[in-house]
Amino acid sequence: MAYKAVFFDAGSTLFEVKLPREERFALLAERLGFGLEKEEAVTLHRRLFAASFSDGFPYAATLEKERQTWLGFYRPLLAEVGVSDPHDILAQKLVDECNYTRWLAIYPEVHHVLGQLRGRFQLGVISNAPPSLPEGLEYLELATYFDTIVVSSLVGVQKPAPAIFQIALDRLGVAATESFFVDDIEENVAAATGLGMAAALIDRDDKHPQATCLRIRSLEEVLNHVSGRADADHGDQR
């Protein structure tokens, strides 16, 4: 199969977030002198998050709305710990410094793989993520590799819905059968293959030994699959 495009999920595929948000908050609370022990800060953040977003986290449709959502979360949190912040200076600092885009760690093979693919294929990202994802890709110096970045919050549809894959395909002007997709969630891989795309589950830590789809341990393996040097039926399907 001659592929024209390769698409990647973002989180847990190209990068990981080094700490969960409540632990990021705990570190910042200590640095900013809020008088909270780490476990106190983590517990407080978890409790208020559960109360604030009991119906699920509201993925914003714009960067500004994303920012306002988090300001609306951190204002009452600061009030609960007795910190006066009438001009939102500390709340805005927490929004900025707790943002996941500042806590990303790229997987070691990513730059090499994208560099090898760039120029031979069109490249894209298809991710269920908030509007700030492109900022994270810029921070990691990954954005310039991609011809399109499809973010669920910005297009109004999430994986595994076929529509989000079709948006990415249409943007690059390629057919599903001309495309290869990598994700860390088997349901999303199945949705892509159901549309006609070739797809692989990235499973670096062997968490999905029962997966029935093509399974790879490193993005390095993508190079073989899209170049036709590996038998697509062989793969790693343990």
* Residue-range domain boundaries for the chain: 5-17+104-227, 21-102
- Rounded to an integer, what distance in angstroms lies between the CA atom of residue 143 and that of residue 125? 9
pTM of the model: 0.91
Residue 180 phi/psi, 5-degree rounding, is -125, 140
pLDDT in tens, 171-202: 999 999 999 999 999 999 999 999 999 999 99
CA angle (185, 189, 192) in 5-degree steps: 140
The fraction of the chain above a pLDDT of 90, given in percent, is 89
Q: Evaluate if residue 235 carries a pLDDT over 60.
A: no
Within a 13 Å sphere around the CA of 31, how many CA atoms are in the beta-carbon half?
11
pLDDT value of position 68? 95
Give the CATH number of domain 5-17+104-227: 3.40.50.1000
- Rounded to an integer, what distance in angstroms lies between the CA atom of residue 182 and that of residue 188? 9
pLDDT in tens, 110-122: 999 999 999 999 9
Q: Which of residues 231 and 89 earns the better pLDDT score?
A: 89
